[in-house]
């Protein structure tokens, strides 16, 4: 993020009794940016979202929007829209009633409410459902209405708390594309909480990965995936084979893995020959075809998993295990268990993890 932050979360922590669930988190979100908070259950991502919404008060730190401190404002005074995992539509109100609720509370006149409700229904593609009640809608439709309700009062920030988790896989994919398109069309600053890495990587301008109340890494989806800074991020985002290695030559970027030696690695400045280091490589970075500059190793096939478009092969080099992903090619024979094959990878594809 290069411009001045629109939403600033400064050194916030949150404790529930003796348990600290968020530890000194600093996040800056630009105007119109879509940032995902990604992490396993209990990592503190939803707690940060709830502190931004005003449902929880930070134990320490502050939150500001466009330079205005909102840390201790009531939720109703923040002008923040929120979409919940369980939709949280008001059962006694129709779709139009739900979407217009925030405007009615704000004292907007009837004609303007009707106009805005029509706009929102058109935006979510459900103009014919204005008079239906929530129980008459599918899960996907309910979540679209919840989104329209949240953005109808033109909030300064939109918070999405795992809005796709309760939907089935196909609806999830189509709705995440819709949400992203609407967010870009309106240019609304958005925070999206999810534990689904595919959602986070596909929708976001930037992703913040959290673990045990701490921010592990903030970066673009490509940075998070290709250059994870910690072993947790490496393991949590995508599939990664981690290999214990010993540094043998700093100048040539050389390390020994089991009985094999890999050279041309980008080793951290802090290591010296003889140090133990953890290397990591993604399954799709390992190939069965050689290219210029590739490192080549011999590996034994332990198992072959057919995943449709992709075949995932579990390999061992000595006692080190790793995975290889290859596209399914019906014209080629499938690899067999127990077979010894040559595998190839670019040294740049190997990550040296610092912790």
Partner 1 sequence: MKRIAAWAALAFGTLYFLLPLMGMTEFSLKMRRGVYSLDAYARVLADPKFQETFSYSVIMAVFTILFGVLLVVPTAYWVRLKLPRARPYVEFVTLLPLVIPAIVVVFGYIRLYNTSSWLPLTGTATGTNILLMFGYATLSLPYMYRAVDTGLRTIDVTTLTEAAQSLGAGWVTILGRLILPNVLVAVLSGAFVTLAIVIGEFTMAALLNRPAFGPYMQLLGANRAYEPAALAVIAFGITWACMGLIQLVARLAPKPAIPVKD
Q: Which residues bind partner 1 (CB under 8 A)?
A: 53-55, 74-82, 84, 86-92, 101-102, 105-106, 133-142, 149-150, 153, 159, 167-168, 171
Tell me the CA distances in angstroms from 134 to 146, 165, 167, 182, 233, one per residue in order. Answer: 10, 18, 15, 21, 39
CB of 166 to partner 1, least distance (A): 8
**Residue from 95, 194, 80 nearest 146 by CA:** 95
- Nearer Cβ to partner 1 (149/229): 149
CB of 155 to partner 1, least distance (A): 8
| Residue 138 CB neighbours (<10 A) | 11
- Taking CB atoms within 8 Å and a gap of at least 24, the contacts of 338-342 are 338/300, 338/301, 339/300, 339/301, 340/298, 340/299, 340/300, 340/301, 341/288, 341/298, 341/299, 341/300, 341/301, 341/315, 342/288, 342/290, 342/296, 342/297, 342/298, 342/299
Beta carbons within 8 Å of 166's beta carbon, 6+ residues apart: 85, 86, 87, 139, 143
Distance of CA 249 to the CA centre of its chain: 36
- Nearer Cβ to partner 1 (115/136): 136
CB of 199 to partner 1, least distance (A): 18
CB of 167 to partner 1, least distance (A): 8
CB of 170 to partner 1, least distance (A): 8
- Nearer Cβ to partner 1 (134/283): 134
- Nearer Cβ to partner 1 (89/262): 89
What does the block give as tokens for 218?
Answer: 């903030």
CB of 102 to partner 1, least distance (A): 4
β 206-211/214-219 pair status:
antiparallel
CB of 56 to partner 1, least distance (A): 11
Q: What are the phi and psi torsion angles at 279 (to 5°)?
A: -105, 155
- Nearer Cβ to partner 1 (56/254): 56
- Nearer Cβ to partner 1 (69/168): 168
- Nearer Cβ to partner 1 (52/351): 52
CB 280 within 8 A of CB 242: yes
């Amino acid at each position: 993020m290069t411009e001045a932050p629109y939403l600033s979360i400064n050194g916030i922590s949150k404790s529930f009794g003796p348990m600290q669930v968020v530890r000194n988190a600093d996040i800056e979100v630009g105007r119109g940016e879509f940032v995902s908070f990604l992490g396993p259950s209990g990592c503190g991502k939803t707690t940060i979202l709830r502190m931004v919404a005003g449902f929880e008060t930070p134990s320490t730190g502050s939150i500001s929007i466009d330079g205005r401190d909102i840390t201790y404002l009531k939720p109703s005074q923040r002008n923040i829209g929120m979409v919940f995992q369980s939709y949280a539509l008001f059962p006694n109100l129709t779709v139009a009633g739900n979407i217009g609720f925030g405007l009615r509370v704000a004292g907007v006149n009837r004609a303007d409410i009707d106009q805005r409700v029509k706009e929102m229904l058109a935006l979510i593609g459900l103009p014919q459902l204005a008079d239906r009640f929530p129980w008459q809608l599918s899960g996907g439709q309910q979540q679209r209405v919840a989104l329209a309700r949240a953005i109808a009062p033109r909030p300064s920030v939109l918070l999405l708390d795992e809005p796709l988790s309760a939907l089935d896989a196909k609806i999830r994919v189509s709705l995440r594309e819709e949400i992203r398109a609407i967010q870009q069309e309106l240019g609304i600053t958005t925070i999206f909480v999810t534990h689904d890495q595919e959602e986070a990587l596909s929708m976001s301008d930037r992703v913040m990965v959290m673990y045990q109340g701490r921010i592990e890494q903030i970066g673009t989806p490509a940075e998070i995936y290709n250059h994870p800074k910690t072993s947790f991020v490496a393991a949590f985002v995508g599939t990664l084979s981690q290999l214990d290695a010993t540094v043998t030559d700093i100048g040539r970027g050389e390390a020994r893995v089991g009985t094999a030696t890999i050279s041309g690695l980008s080793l951290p400045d802090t290591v010296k020959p003889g140090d133990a280091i953890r290397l990591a490589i993604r399954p799709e970075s390992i190939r069965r075809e050689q290219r210029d500059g590739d490192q080549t190793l011999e590996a034994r096939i332990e198992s072959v998993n057919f995943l449709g478009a992709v075949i995932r092969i579990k390999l061992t080099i000595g006692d080190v295990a790793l995975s290889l992903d290859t596209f399914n090619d019906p014209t080629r024979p499938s690899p067999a268990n127990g077979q010894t094959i040559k595998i190839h990878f670019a040294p740049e594809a190997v990550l040296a993890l610092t912790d």
